[in-house]
């Protein structure tokens, strides 16, 4: 994730086709949306402090099991899509009435 192409690279005519070729995913998911999600994951998990807020104590496997058992994956996916500014997906009722984030200037 640390070496993912930037938006500048993605929209550069000289590098766009290469990025499309090597970062394409399954049908129906655009490369731009994949890059947005990669950037979100990088932003969330790229500092030591963020890691501490997720894993405070206990074994990592126990934490993973707890998260998987209690997770509301549809809500989490909707929140991630919203945070990555991927707007062409069906949202979650919890977020439907919220204003656009971040606001357009």
Q: What is the pLDDT of residues 16-62, one digit of tens each?
A: 999 999 988 888 889 999 998 888 888 776 665 555 555 556 677 77
- The answer, yes or no, to whether residue 100 has pLDDT greater than 90, is no
CB atoms under 10 Å from CB of 88, counted, come to: 8
Q: Would you say residue 101 lies in a domain?
A: no
Per-residue pLDDT, averaged over 67-72, amounts to 84
Q: Would you say residue 60 lies in a domain?
A: yes
State the total domains in the chain. Answer: 1
- The answer, yes or no, to whether residue 80 has pLDDT greater than 90, is no
Tokens 């070496």 map to which residue? 3
Question: 59 or 66, which is more confident?
Answer: 66
Q: Would you say residue 63 lies in a domain?
A: yes
Question: 77 or 32, which is more confident?
Answer: 32
pLDDT at 70: 85
Q: Would you say residue 37 lies in a domain?
A: yes
Sequence-distant (6+) residues with CB within 8 A of 27 are none
Task: Supply the range of the domain harboring residue 61.
Answer: 7-96
CB atoms under 10 Å from CB of 82, counted, come to: 19
Q: Would you say residue 80 lies in a domain?
A: yes
Q: Would you say residue 78 lies in a domain?
A: yes
Q: Would you say residue 45 lies in a domain?
A: yes
């Amino acid at each position: 994730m640390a070496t993912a192409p930037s938006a500048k690279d993605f929209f550069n005519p000289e590098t766009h086709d290469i990025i499309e070729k090597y970062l394409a995913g399954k049908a129906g998911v655009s490369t731009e949306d994949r890059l947005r999600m990669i950037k979100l994951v990088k932003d969330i998990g790229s500092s030591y402090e963020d890691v501490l807020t997720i894993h405070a104590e206990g074994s990592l496997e126990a934490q993973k099991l707890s998260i998987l058992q209690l997770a509301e994956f549809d809500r989490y996916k909707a929140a991630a899509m919203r945070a990555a500014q991927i707007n062409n997906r069906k949202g979650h009722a919890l977020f439907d009435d919220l204003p656009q984030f971040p606001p357009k200037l």
